[in-house]
Every structure is written in C-alpha cells, then in structure tokens.
Amino acid sequence: MVLALGGAVALTACASTGTESPPSATLEEINATRTITHGHPDSSIPFSDVGAIKESMGYSVDLCARVVEDLRRALELPDL
C-alpha cells in the first residue's frame, strides 16, 4: 500500500503543479470509474487502527484521505 500510495502522492503532486504530462492508466481508471480504492492494516498503531466505533483512523488513513481530496480537486470530480 505504501508504494501505491506513494505513486498516488506523486501523481497528485504532478497534477497540482500545473505541469502537463500524459495521464497515467491509474488516473484514467479513476476518471472513468469515479472511484478510488485504498486499504490499510487493521492494527498498525499509530499508522492505522480501527477504533471503538469501527471507524478507521491513523496516519495512513489521514494520508489516504488527503490524497483522495487532492485528486478530487485536480481531476475536477466532486463525486469521487
């Protein structure tokens, strides 16, 4: 997941700098399906954990949420 997330972060960085580059297969898939799938281990405190109310939390979960939000803006997909 770290490698995939690192790739997504790099893609987001490229998208947000305004530099024109050909879209990757991953960005094309995100654009076509309007979905992003990410995961994390159930318990890798402080990176990820599942709280008492069964809600995911931790550094990795926060990072994933930020990447998704950046991609939502960069790809202009409010329903992502």
Q: Is residue 8 part of a domain?
A: yes
Q: Is residue 37 part of a domain?
A: yes
Q: Is residue 28 part of a domain?
A: no
Cα(21)–Cα(14) distance, integer angstroms: 8
pLDDT tens-place string over residues 53-77: 888 888 888 888 899 999 999 989 9
Higher pLDDT, 72 or 2: 72
Q: Is residue 45 part of a domain?
A: yes
Structural domain range at position 59: 1-13+33-80
Q: Which value, in Å, is the radius of gyration of the alpha carbons in the chain?
A: 14
Total structural domains within the chain: 1
pLDDT tens-place string over residues 13-59: 444 455 566 668 888 898 889 998 877 777 777 777 787 888 888 88
Q: Is residue 23 part of a domain?
A: no
Dump strand ranges (E) for 1-80. 43-44, 48-50, 56-57
